[in-house]
Amino acid sequence: MTTFEPIVGRYFDLDIDGASHRIFVEEAGQGIPLLCLHTAGADSRQYRHLLNDAAVTSKYRVIAFDMPYHGRSNPPDRWWLHKYRLTTADYIAQIRAVWKALDLSRPVVMGCSMGGAIVLRLAADFQQELRGIVGLESSAYAPGRYNDYLHHPAIHGGELVASYTYGLCAPASPETNARENWWYYSQSGPGVYAGDVHFYSIDWDGRADLARIDTTVCKVSLLTGEFDYSCTPDMTRAAASAIPGSRLVIMDGMGHFPMIENYPVFRTFLLPELEWMAQ
């Protein structure tokens, strides 16, 4: 007989800042809401291993959604009239809209890369509504990542972005998993990765927000791979040092995409943090 994974995927209509969006969301498990944010130019398929991990889903309702323009979610109406450029305000509005629409009560929010950046701002602005944040490859400031070749008519954008991000995986990560992430990135819409990097490297600066985070109200765990040269361990150390009471884990043998590039190793670092969040 066919064996189905325990993941349920659905579409719903969502109003974000007055614009209608068709959003794809998938989830598994029950318990504490765990809202997962994918990386720039990718989608929630990066969290498929987490969504299938019974050690997590026995305690957490794991939820992952594709941002507008990403994966299985559509762009907004008349999207072709505007160049896609994600901003901090846009990103927060999207996350909050999903959070409210799904009626999540005191969730843990986990994000990676640009998602690991924005969770710092969520913890500063909405800590009374959160149980905690898990920042994967988190940085409060990451300039210098944007360049015009990320969306250029002379360059195959899908292969460029997929191959660049492939290099951010750790040397020991299984090639099958690193190539899987390559495949997800190769399917990104034209200019979407560039638009996300606009947020991450031009618009984003959360350094002044870190002092507003009270870890007695909202727990903070920051986990970064030792081989990450986009958000380096030192960048995460700087963020952690500015948040008294935060927990910092530099993950041996990991790169920039821990939840997809080498989940069996990643979960050994993640499970203790999720256990702490649940206490």
Note whether residue 2 is domain-resident. Answer: no
Supply the range of the domain harboring residue 223: 8-278
Note whether residue 177 is domain-resident. Answer: yes
Q: For the residues 66-79, what does the mean pLDDT come to? A: 96
Instruction: List pLDDT tens digits, range 84-122.
Output: 999 999 999 999 999 999 999 999 999 999 999 999 999
pLDDT at 21: 96
Domain with residue 139: its CATH number is 3.40.50.1820
β-strand pairing of 219-225 with 247-251: parallel
Note whether residue 195 is domain-resident. Answer: yes
Q: For the residues 73-82, what does the mean pLDDT come to? A: 94
Note whether residue 3 is domain-resident. Answer: no
Instruction: List pLDDT tens digits, range 145-188.
Output: 888 878 888 888 888 899 999 999 999 999 999 999 999 999 99
Residue with tokens 């994918």: 38
Alpha-carbon span 237 to 196, nearest angstrom: 24
Instruction: Count the domains in the chain.
Output: 1
Structure tokens at 35: 């809202």
- Residue 8 and residue 163 in contact, taking contact as beta carbons nearer than 8 Å: no
Note whether residue 1 is domain-resident. Answer: no
Torsions phi, psi of 52, nearest 5?
-100, 5
- pTM here is 0.96
CA distance to 77, 91, 133, 155, 211, per residue, from 115 (Å):
24, 9, 11, 26, 19
